[in-house]
Amino acid sequence: MKTKITYLLFILPLMTFAQGPWEFNTSGNTVGFTCNSSAGTLGAHTVTQSGGDLSVAFVTKAGNNPIIRKLDAGIDADTNVNFIEIRLKNSSTVTFLRISPANNTTTYADYVISSNSADYKTYVFDVTAWTGNPVGIDIKCMSWDKIDKTGILIPGSSAYTPLTGESILIDYIRPLASYVAPEVNIFNFTSTDEGFNKLTRATAVLATESGKGTLQVKSTVASALFTVVALNTVIAHVEGANKYAHVTLKNTTTNNQFQLKGKVATVATAFSPSQTYTTADADYKTYDFDLSTWDNGYQFPELNFAVKDTWSAAGVYAINDQVISSNSTYKNLTGINTANAPRADITANAAAVPPLPQNWELVGTEGALLDLTNFIYVDAIVFDNTAPNLGTNDVEFANNTISFYPNPAQEVLNVNSADPIAKIEVYDMLGKKVASNNNAKNVNVAALGKGVYVAKVVQENGSVIAKRFIKQ
């Protein structure tokens, strides 16, 4: 019996190598991880166990995009593993990791990571799309630094050329059956994208605009579909018990349709703003969404941007009238909208999209209306239970001679005004005055709860300007 127990204790550590977790605590043991160039064995890099880490030191040789690999990882991708958590310190210019089953280039999970970081950071990859049992693991090191035709730095995977002296220290790699993202209900975009990095036909990068830290969004594909910026499910979740959203943004594009999507009875559903989404804005505006019908629990909201359809199946049209349908322009040929069904394969269905060809002619290139040049700057997104008060809802005037800082504010809200200020009054979204100050350029908001407020600034010349701000 003693011999059998000793043998069992000997093989237990080896059994943990299949399916992980891998924590690299045994001196000299890399647990079978290697690192070669994606081009093959060219540019083989050094993999050692050092100080409780898997140390991957890059060398400058032929071949780009090093792959940290464990062929015998034995991951049960079909049933037991849906996420992979990696804690690492990136002492390199790698800015993008792609995780996939070993030798698989079609099924993968991506993550933009911090380069040349001074400390360890934890990243969680959603691998629910993986299949196969068992599978190995590939961690491909890449860059995320494309330049678009206007010279703007945008997200886009490209080759990482390894440099001697650069390295990645991996503290652990943990396959997980489930993962609970932290709850976040206020997003300010002051230093990170805060998880709004799940992109479809879009880029979203941090930028400074009008002195604000914002999420700079740009459409990238001339498509009949929406540009989508969504909250990454492994970064954070919004609590569905919050039934209102307040999105502050500046739209410098010609795109004129903006929707926020969330789950209603588990189905992704669009909520319309209470205001008209304007184009070519000169300043930031706040759009309010009533989310009273969306599901309680975990929500991962989406911001959708597009060009609004003007064609209606019930509309009355004259010959040569033009409409927009699915982000394309159509001209009426017949003066009617309902179908005459000249062919057996076309039924009398006026609700067809795009409009039925016997009545309409495509005159604009598909996707031509989508603005691929200019930006949408998202300053803040707040989810709460504060209904917008129509009396103070977006009361910004054309005579916009003031600005707030910092916004979001924590203790003091400062007002930058070209004219002397008589008084500042702060109202909550129900219209109740909650703070004020006379003959000063600031107001104390430290006692206020987190959320969206309206500051009304009365200038000595009689002008009254009201703008929204966020209390953090």
Cα 250 to Cα 209, 254, 258, 374, 377, distances in angstroms? 9, 12, 12, 11, 5
Phi, psi dihedral angles at 354 (to 5 degrees):
-70, 170
DSSP string, 368-412: TTS-SSS-EEEEEEEEES-PPPTTSTT---S---EEEESSSBSSE
pLDDT mean across residues, the chain = 82
3-state secondary structure of 153: strand
* Residues in CB range of 251: below 8 A, 6 or more apart: 258, 277, 278, 279, 280, 281, 285, 376
The dotted CATH code for 186-307+371-376 is 2.60.120.260
Please give the pLDDT value at position 23: 93
CA distance 35 to 67: 5
How many residues are present in the chain? 472
Tens digit of each residue's pLDDT (9 = 90 or more) over 297-311: 899 999 999 988 888
First to last CA, the chain: 63
pTM for this predicted structure: 0.63
Pick from 227, 245, 376, 365: which is nearest to 307 by CA? 227
Please give the pLDDT value at position 223: 75
pLDDT band at 3 (very low <50, low <70, confident <90, very high): very low
- CATH topology for the 17-176 domain: Jelly Rolls (2.60.120)
Class of the CATH-defined domain 389-471: mainly beta
Please give the pLDDT value at position 78: 85
pLDDT band at 286 (very low <50, low <70, confident <90, very high): confident
Please give the pLDDT value at position 92: 94
Q: Is residue 337 scored above 90 in pLDDT?
A: no
Asked whether the domain spanning 389-471 has the same topology as the one spanning 17-176, the reply is: no
CA distance 345 to 164: 65
Least confident of 24-28, 42-46, 155-159, 449-453: 155-159
Please give the pLDDT value at position 348: 47
Please answer whether residues 384 and 185 qualify as being in contact, where contact means their C-beta atoms are separated by less than 8 angstroms. Answer: yes
Please answer whether residues 126 and 233 qualify as being in contact, where contact means their C-beta atoms are separated by less than 8 angstroms. Answer: yes
Q: Is residue 425 scored above 80 in pLDDT?
A: yes
Winning range, highest mean pLDDT, from 7-21, 252-266, 427-441? 252-266
Pick from 112, 232, 235: which is nearest to 181 by CA? 235
Pick from 259, 269, 271, 268: which is nearest to 306 by CA? 259
3-state secondary structure of 6: helix
CA distance 468 to 448: 14
Written in H, E and C, the secondary structure of 265-334 is CCEEEEECECCCCCCCCCCCEEEEEECCCCCCCEECCEEEEECCCCCCCCCCCCCCCEEEECCEEEEECC
Tens digit of each residue's pLDDT (9 = 90 or more) over 63-97: 788 999 999 999 988 888 989 999 999 999 998 89
Q: Is residue 331 scored above 80 in pLDDT?
A: yes
Where along the chain do its domains lie?
17-176, 186-307+371-376, 389-471
Q: Is residue 15 scored above 80 in pLDDT?
A: no
pLDDT band at 175 (very low <50, low <70, confident <90, very high): very high
CA distance 327 to 254: 12
